[in-house]
Amino acid sequence: MYPTIKEVAQKAGVSIATVSRVFNNSALVSQSTIKHVQNIARSLHYVPNASARSLSRRKSDTFGMILPDLFGEFFSEVIRGADQTAQKHSYNVLLSSSHNNPEEIEEALTAMRGRVDGIIIMSPQISADTLHNNLPKTLPVILLNCIVEDDSFDSIVIDNFNGAYQITEHIIQHGHNRIAVIRGAIDNYEADERLRGYRCAIAKSGCETSADLEFKGDFSEEAGYDIAHSILKTSPRPTAVFASNDSMAIGALKSFHDNDIVVPDDIALIGFDDIPISRYVKPSLTTVHVPINEMGILAVERLISAVEGKNINKKEQIVFPTQLSIRESCGCSKKISSVIPKEVMFTG
């Protein structure tokens, strides 16, 4: 049986209200009383009821975070940035995965409602109606890499189009004219923007264009591995492959290796995201650097600002620029300096 706040008050010889003030960091209690009550609570192994404290303070010191998945380096980097920043400001992070399922998203939102001070959401399936129907208007929300046609929410997005355009342009400069692309997931904003960037760079350069050069993926290593097998069967075979994220690029790299195809001598390979492992594979992966960790950091910082400002702050779309991380898989003889990124852009 867990000790109650009443038992702590009785043993400490103070009122229940005084014990409550001690654990709510009230300035109305003297330091000597605080120390005395804390010692008594410790001796009884008393732990304050977090839910009750949240109700009394109308603040949980917790942020919710809903991601499409919790597996993979991309999501772990977002979580790491968010969690470290939250802890630095004495907040906790409550995680949930939606698996890009609308019903699971609504369930996660319902479960978090009333338990968190703000929510960070990354989901291509989210809609303004879902947010308005499941969350109070006073709750701060930060959207990551998803577009909602509503100016009621702050959002942070990556400049996916320009990143894909620049990396495709880079591989074209190596002399490649027949470049395949492994697309991202269907109905995904990031995937669509990266495909658009690839197509624009191809069209501008006059390179070969064909539906046979566009392969449907899903951002997973397995998709990259399987699609690479299909690419090798294409005739004439592409001389370069742009995978819409690093996970698929790494899967493709393994597939090429298993088929005795040497990267970049036989076929060049480029990715997108610059997850940590991309610099350690052999050959090291040329990719588009995305400030993944910084996205998590900024999302939490924006939530804290919104909480402190009672969520009446002006909502903005923040666009993170990308830069190229040039390594070996594209055919460059050695790693060269990355393109200097532009400053983060804010739009109202």
Say yes or no: 97 and 127 in one domain: yes
Say yes or no: 167 and 260 in one domain: yes
Helix, strand, coil % (nearest 5) of the chain? 45, 15, 40
pLDDT for 53 equals: 52
Say yes or no: 165 and 103 in one domain: no
Structural domain for 125, as ranges = 62-159+293-321
In-domain check, residue 191? yes
Say yes or no: 259 and 166 in one domain: yes
In-domain check, residue 39? yes
Query: Per this entry, what is the length of the chain?
Result: 348
Give the CATH number for residue 38. Answer: 1.10.260.40
User: Distance from first CA to last CA of the chain, Å, rounded?
Assistant: 53
Give residue-wise pLDDT tens across range 149-165.
778 888 999 999 999 99
pLDDT for 345 equals: 52
In-domain check, residue 77? yes
> Between β-strands 92-97 and 240-243, what pairing exists: parallel, antiparallel or unpaired?
unpaired
In-domain check, residue 347? no
pTM for the full model? 0.78
Give the CATH number for residue 309. Answer: 3.40.50.2300
* Rounded-to-integer distance, Cα 299 and Cα 308, Å: 14
In-domain check, residue 199? yes
In-domain check, residue 147? yes
Say yes or no: 164 and 232 in one domain: yes
Other CB atoms within 10 Å distance of the CB of residue 35:
11
| Helix residue spans in 153-207 (DSSP H) | 160-173, 189-205
Q: Which of 39, 57, 75 is the last residue of a domain?
A: 57
Give residue-wise pLDDT tens across range 237-276.
999 999 999 999 999 999 999 999 999 999 999 999 999 9
Say yes or no: 25 and 146 in one domain: no
Say yes or no: 269 and 317 in one domain: no
In-domain check, residue 45? yes
pLDDT for 83 equals: 95
Say yes or no: 145 and 263 in one domain: no
Is the distance from CB of 90 to CB of 98 less than 8 angstroms? no
Q: Which ranges of the chain have pLDDT less than 70?
A: 1-2, 49-58, 334-348
Q: Could you give the number of structural domains in the chain?
A: 3
Is the distance from CB of 65 to CB of 112 less than 8 angstroms? no
In-domain check, residue 348? no
